[in-house]
Amino acid sequence: MKYISYYRMGLSLALAVVAAGMVASCDDLDEAPDNRTSIDNVEKIQQLLTSGYPVSTPALICELSGDNLVDNNVVVPATHNDAYADFQEQAYNWEDIDNYSTGEDDTPYTVWEAFYQGIAVANHAIEAMREMSNDPAHDAELAHSWGEAHLLRAYLHFVLVNVFAEAYKDETQSANDVGIPYVSEVEKTVTVDYSDPKYRKSVAEVYRLIEQDILEGIDLINDAKYKVPAYHFNRNAANALAARFYLYKRDYEKCVKYATAALGSNPASSLRKWATMSSNTINTLLNDFNDETAPCNYMLQTTYSLFDRALSACRYAINTGSSAEKVDATKDILYEGGGPNWNSRLKAFDGKIYIWGAGQSYGSWLFRIYEYFEYDDKIAGIGWVHIIYQPFTAEETLLCRAEAEVYLGQNDKALTDLGYWTSSHMVDEPLTQANINRFYRRTSKNIYVSELHPTEMSPEFKYDALSDDAKRLIDCVLHFRRIETMFEGLRWFDIKRYGITVHHAYRGPQEDDVHHDYLQWNDPRRVLQIPQNVIDAGYPSSNRTQSMGGQESGLQAVPAPAAVPASNDNEDVNE
């Protein structure tokens, strides 16, 4: 029997979430067993949708694929560190990722599974609302949930297509790029023929369906319906999703429209208040950063992730780089090396950067990636690792708008928005076009600018038509977004859509020689391979050298972390 695993997990969750003991019949999925509770009122719909937000994130595999992390085995002499998990080395080496079990966090399998599980939940909610009303979008009780379900479905597909398919290029070229299944109905059979054209969507078709779902839901959201709006598609999060979607699709006027709807008339008031964040302990920093009432946190997402432990293994890190191996100092790019209107470390990060006991040469990390631990068995010391992820923030939405404004010829407005960002990060000096032009000079040794190939990707990408001032503004936007979204994986999406060249130098734990590899704008390895079980179900594999996917195994609890070590083992670099 072959089937895509999102159906198996997503359907079972959707049927089970509103009442304990709900069971779906394997023989006839159209007929509900006697002990199944029907999804027949708005409270159950809302409870169902709460379970649709994914508990996995592609952040780690995207960061490993991108240019923020470097291999310590190259940077630090005579080191031969292992990766925390084997698949992480594969991701960094741009190999097909197949060396993992389905119980491991942060893998392509868990991302695919969790996101299609959420899509299945959204589809069950939509079907239930259609059974409850002839016109749910105009039903006073159901309209909000109708909107949330469509936005959730749009968001989940949007992430999946950007991870497992080519970046959007233009309507013509993207019509020929294989996308992902866009699932907009409840499956009622276990065996599904995924060679059916309705499941084989191009990137262009997936984008069209995402837009359709966004527009169906965005005007229906009512924040008053949520107990904790930050964990749902509230109005700001919905507008932020639309802004990012239209930026990637290069519909810049709509990007500005929706970003402005989220940011309001005074964007500075909604940006993160770095100056007031307590740095007494890493836990107080985390609590401040992930405050569900903070206006900058448009949306929060609780995920199972071992990202923090991947960094603590001291194999991949934000590091000083290596001039001998031509590895850029990502520590300088991200927080230590200055910017167009600040010198040295970004002031907002003072007291908030940590290093592991192996020493600063092994890398440093911003507090935000530190884990929360949920005990399953305190005596045995095992449980579940959580990372709070911010899918949408005021800062990232502001940078989306700034980029769109450049392409609309509104350089002054873009400069103002970029100035808001630096001010919120405690930079006192005004941001000017002159200091942007000076800092982002296009020289071979400038680590703060990236090699871009947008026009090669699509002749409709009007980057080459920009003035020199405008191009430097784009460099600034990409740099600020790289800082803003470190550890979130969004840099990987910028790499894909701008055709940014990435250099990885790596040395395996058992090797002496350093390997160098360059990911060019047209390299098919920019597309992560879909899991093997999906390929086995009949969906076409990506154009890579081999297929990939994990071996079946159960979920695995992990040991609790040790307490944050004393300053001699894990110290703030300010101290």
Q: Is 129 left (phi over 0), alpha (psi -120 to 50) or beta?
A: alpha
Residue 544 confidence (pLDDT): 63
Residue 359 confidence (pLDDT): 78
For residue 14, what is the enclosing H or E element? helix 5-16
Residue 28 confidence (pLDDT): 38
The pTM of the whole model exceeds 0.85: yes
For the chain, what are the domain ranges?
Answer: 63-82+259-523
Answer whether residue 447 shows pLDDT above 80.
yes
In whole angstroms, give the CA distance from residue 153 to residue 187: 15
Cβ 81 vs Cβ 72: under 8 Å = yes
SS (H, E, C) 108-159: HHHHHHHHHHHHHHHHHHHHHHHHHCCCHHHCCCCHHHHHHHHHHHHHHHHH
Q: 193: how many CB neighbours lie within 10 A of its CB?
A: 12
Answer whether residue 425 shows pLDDT above 80.
yes
Answer whether residue 87 shows pLDDT above 90.
yes
Each residue's pLDDT tens digit, 388-415: 999 999 999 999 999 999 999 999 999 9
Q: Are strands 571-572 and 297-304 parallel, antiparallel or unpaired?
A: unpaired
Coil, helix or strand at residue 203: helix
Cβ 487 vs Cβ 493: under 8 Å = no
Residue 9 confidence (pLDDT): 33
Compute CA distances 164 → 53, 69, 160, 167, 496, whole Å. 19, 21, 6, 9, 11
Each residue's pLDDT tens digit, 211-256: 999 999 999 999 999 999 999 999 999 999 999 999 999 999 999 9
Residues with Cβ within 8 Å of 551's Cβ and at least 6 positions away in sequence, in order, are: 100, 101, 102
Compute CA distances 428 → 227, 266, 396, whole Å. 38, 19, 21
Answer whether residue 562 shows pLDDT above 70.
no
Each residue's pLDDT tens digit, 269-303: 999 999 999 878 899 999 999 999 999 999 999 99
Cβ 268 vs Cβ 420: under 8 Å = yes
Instruction: Tell me what the pLDDT averaged over the chain comes to.
Output: 87
Residue 77 confidence (pLDDT): 86
The DSSP call for residue 84 is: S
Residue 374 confidence (pLDDT): 86
Cβ 121 vs Cβ 14: under 8 Å = yes
Cβ 207 vs Cβ 186: under 8 Å = no
Q: 569: how many CB neighbours lie within 10 A of its CB?
A: 12
The closest of 535, 562, 556, 559 to 547, measured between CA atoms, is 535
The DSSP call for residue 229 is: G
In the predicted model, what is the mean pLDDT of residues 143-147? 98
In whole angstroms, give the CA distance from residue 240 to residue 296: 11
Residue 194 confidence (pLDDT): 67
Q: What residues are paired with 516 via a beta bridge?
A: 505
Strands (E) in 280-381, as ranges, are 297-304, 316-317, 353-355, 364-366, 372-377
